[in-house]
Amino acid sequence: MGVHRHELWRKDSAGEPYRLRRSFPAGPASATTLLAGPGSVSALDGGGRDDLLLGRLTDRLVGAGRQVLQCDMPVRNPQVPFTEKEFDARVERLDHLLRGNRHLMTGPLTLVGFSLGGLALLELLESGSPPRADRVVLVGTVLEEDVFLSSRVPTVELVYGSRDLIGYLIEDTSDSGANPQPIVFDPGMYADWSARHVIGSPTPEVNVHLLEGLGHTLHPVGPGPGRDPLPELTSLVGTGPLTTHRPTARQERLRDARE
């Protein structure tokens, strides 16, 4: 099945031009998926590893009969932390992407965000835009505080590479004056606390998925043959939970209470 594309240029509130893209099959689309790339992806036709995965995922989803929505993101310097202004621009562009294509949306709506793109999607869902999404898939998105989803979202899938380590500097509160000490967490630790921070009314079902041997945006890390995340991502977006699903601590407590 061929992939058809339609692009529209517009300017954001800062006057920066960017593209909205809709990729779709020849026949009627069965569902709609929005892809929000990570901080490393600025242009739809970029050449990096993240761009390649997003392109392959787009083609796979369209081949399965879905339409896919994407947009260019602000260019950023990967050597420095992202700014609030840049983050707001991402949220604004994704909001325009949804609003500009709402008359073309068919079937269930799935929102997929990678890393910074996932945080931008959560900002939208906190504001109630869109009013409802059938599923939200967040890849490499770590939550350190509660996120209340004003939009109605029945299911949130948190996906992490098993080798995606995050580090913090812990301040020494004693009088010794020692330098801050680094501490590193793997997703076996931070995945559960991220899941507990996703709330709403009603509270969505939050599932955690760990993909072995992969890093932050699901690229192979470490020794051994590289694992292709595309089959798992396609299954998760299109047909249901991954076989690598691990219940969150909250779900285990609820299960124990029922038993």
Helix 230-238, helix 49-63: angle, nearest 10: 50
> Which of 149, 98, 155, 145 is CA-nearest to residue 126?
149
What residue segments make up the domains of the chain, in order of their start?
Answer: 4-258
Q: What is the pLDDT of residue 76?
A: 78
Residue 49 or residue 244, greater confidence: 49
Tell me how far apart the alpha carbons of residues 71 and 61 are, in angstroms, rounded to a whole number: 17
Q: What is the pLDDT of residue 159?
A: 97
Mean pLDDT of 125-151: 96
* Distances, alpha carbon 247 to alpha carbons 136, 209, 223, 242, in Å: 17, 9, 28, 12
Taking 60 as the threshold, does the pLDDT of residue 100 lie above it? Answer: yes
pTM higher than 0.75 for the full model? yes
Q: List the beta bridge partners of residue 9.
A: 19
Mean pLDDT of 154-167: 92
87 neighbors 116 (Cβ within 8 angstroms): yes
Place of tokens 């779709």: 24
Give the tens place of pLDDT for each residue, 23-44: 999 999 999 999 999 988 999 8
- Kindly state the DSSP code that residue 225 receives in the 8-state scheme: P
Q: What is the pLDDT of residue 36?
A: 97
What CATH topology corresponds to 4-258? Rossmann fold (3.40.50)
196 neighbors 190 (Cβ within 8 angstroms): no
The mean pLDDT of the chain is: 87
What secondary structure does DSSP assign to 28-87, as a single string? --SEEEEEE--TT--STT--SHHHHHHHHHHHHHHHTTEEEEEE------TTSPPPHHHH
Residue 175 or residue 12, greater confidence: 12
Position 68, amino acid: V
